[in-house]
Amino acid sequence: FSSLRPADLKVAMANLSIPNENEAQSVDARAEIDLRLGISFSRFQTQYFKKHFGAQLGHIVKTVSYGPCQMPTLWFCVHRQCQIQDFKPKLFWKIRATVKWQGDEFDADCTCGKIWDENEAKQMKDKLCDASEACVVGMARRNVVKSRPLPLNTVAMLQKASDLAGISPGDAMHCAEQLYLKGILSYPRTETSRYPVGFDVIAVARLLQSSGLPWAADAERIASIPTAARSDGVD
- Which residues share a beta bridge with 15? none
**Cβ neighbours of 205 (radius 10 Å):** 19
By C-alpha distance, which of 221, 195, 192 is closest to 208?
221
At a CB cut-off of 8 Å and minimum separation 6, what does 194 contact? 150, 151, 231, 232, 233, 234, 235
Nearest-angstrom CA–CA distance, 92 and 120: 11
Q: Could you give the residue numbers annotated as active site?
A: 187
Nearest-angstrom CA–CA distance, 144 and 102: 26
Nearest-angstrom CA–CA distance, 57 and 41: 18
By C-alpha distance, which of 75, 78, 74, 48 is closest to 63?
48
